[in-house]
Amino acid sequence: MIAYFLLVHRYPAQFKRLFIAIYAPGNLYVVHVDKSSGTELAKDIATFLSPYQGVEILEAEDALWGGYSLVDAELRGMERLLEMNDRWTHYINLSGQDFPLKSQDYIRQFFAANPGKQFIRALDQRKERPDTMNRVSHLFVEENGKMTATGVPRRYPTGDTPFIGTQWKAVTRSFCEFVCNDVRADRFKTFYRRSFIADEAFFQTVLMNHAGQGEVMNDDLRMIDWVPDGKIKLRPRNFGSADIVALRRSPDLFARKFDAAEDRHVLSLLEAHLKTPAATNYVPIAALAALPAAA
C-alpha cells in the first residue's frame, strides 16, 4: 500500500487527470490545496475527490515557494497519512503538474522489490553544492506571502552536516514516523524554519544525519529536465508530445513537469502508455548506486 501526498495550487483539470492516473483502491491520498489559490479551486477539487475512498483534504495553508511552509505542509500531510491507517509502507509526494510513467501495479511491485530503501536525492551541501550554502548560512523570514533575506549570518548546528537535493521523494513509513515524531528531528525543524528553499534540504538532512533509516538511494525516481532560469539557476522544463519516446522509455516512476495549457496531448499519450506492458510489469534493473551510510 502506498501513501500519496499531493500539492495543488493551480490547473484543477490537469490535477484531476493526474489523480485518476495514480488512484488505486487500497492506497491512501492526502491533498493540500494552497490557500492562496482561492476557495473556488478548493471547492472544485473537493467535489471531484468526494466519491473516492481513502482520500482526505488537508486543512489549507499558504505554501510559499522558498519557504518552510512547504515543509510544514508536507509534515502535516505525513502525520495525517500515518493516522489514517498503519498498513501503508511507502510515501510519495507529488505536485499537481507531475504525471506517472508507470502504473500503480508496477509501482507496488517496485517497492516490494526494494524494501527499506529511501529514494531521495541527497548531496553533501558543503562539498557538492557550496553555491547554495547561503540558504542556511543566513537568516530568512517567511512573512506575508514573501521570503525576506535578512542578511543576518548564523552558524550551522555543530556536529550536523547539511544535505541538499530536490523536493521530491519516495520514502518508507518508518522514516515518516521518525521525521514527524522523533525528538531528534526537532532541532532541524527549528533551524530550517529560518532557511531558504528548505523543502530541498530539510528531509535529506534529517535522514542523512541519523543512521538506521535504511539504505539511501541518490535518486528521487523522477524524470526531470533541468534548464537554466536566471537567479534560480535551474528549473524543470515542461515536457511535451515531442518527448513521448523518452518518457515511455524512462525507468523513472514519475515525470515533471507538464502544462496542459501548452500541450494537452502529451497527457493523453501517457494515459495510453500506462496501459502497456512496459508500464505495468515491473522488471528489476541494475541496482541503483547507494549513498554512503549516514554518520
DSSP the chain: -EEEEEEESS-HHHHHHHHHHH--TT-EEEEEE-GGG-HHHHHHHHHHHTT-TTEEEPPP----TTSTHHHHHHHHHHHHHHHH-S---EEEEEETTEEESS-HHHHHHHHHHSTTEEEE--EEHHHH-GGGTHHHHEEEEEETTEEEEEEEE-PPPTT---EE--S-EEEEHHHHHHHHH-GGGHHHHHHHTTSSSGGGTHHHHHHHTSS-S-EEEE--SEE--EEEEGGGEEEEPPB-GGGHHHHHH--SSEEE-B-TTT-SHHHHHHHHHTTSHHHHS----SPPPBPPPP-
pLDDT band at 287 (very low <50, low <70, confident <90, very high): very low
Q: Is residue 268 domain-resident?
A: yes
Predicted local distance difference test score (pLDDT) of residue 188: 97
Q: Is residue 15 domain-resident?
A: yes
Predicted local distance difference test score (pLDDT) of residue 289: 45
Domain holding 74, by residue range, is 2-279
Render pLDDT for 93-106 as a digit per residue (tens, 0 to 9): 999 999 999 999 99
Q: Is residue 7 domain-resident?
A: yes
Percent of the chain residues past pLDDT 90, beyond the cut: 85
Cell 498498513: give the residue: 87
Average pLDDT of span 234-242: 93
Q: Is residue 150 domain-resident?
A: yes
Q: Is residue 89 domain-resident?
A: yes
Q: Is residue 287 domain-resident?
A: no
Render pLDDT for 244-282 as a digit per residue (tens, 0 to 9): 999 999 999 999 999 999 999 999 999 999 999 999 999
Sign of the dihedral defined by the CA atoms of residues 256, 259, 262, 267, in that order: positive
CATH code of residue 125: 3.90.550
Identify the CA nearest to 201 among candidates 256, 135, 254, 148. Answer: 135
Render pLDDT for 67-85 as a digit per residue (tens, 0 to 9): 999 999 999 999 999 999 9
Predicted local distance difference test score (pLDDT) of residue 64: 87
Report cis status (omega within 30 of 0) of the bond before 257: yes
Mean pLDDT, the chain, integer: 93
Sign of the dihedral defined by the CA atoms of residues 137, 138, 141, 142, in that order: negative
Give me the number of domains the chain comprises: 1
Predicted local distance difference test score (pLDDT) of residue 43: 94
In order, the DSSP letters of 203-238 are HHHHHHTSS-S-EEEE--SEE--EEEEGGGEEEEPP
Percent of the chain residues past pLDDT 70, beyond the cut: 95
Predicted local distance difference test score (pLDDT) of residue 231: 66
pLDDT band at 232 (very low <50, low <70, confident <90, very high): low
Q: Is residue 295 domain-resident?
A: no
Query: Taking 50 as the threshold, does the pLDDT of residue 16 lie above it?
Result: yes
Q: Is residue 92 domain-resident?
A: yes
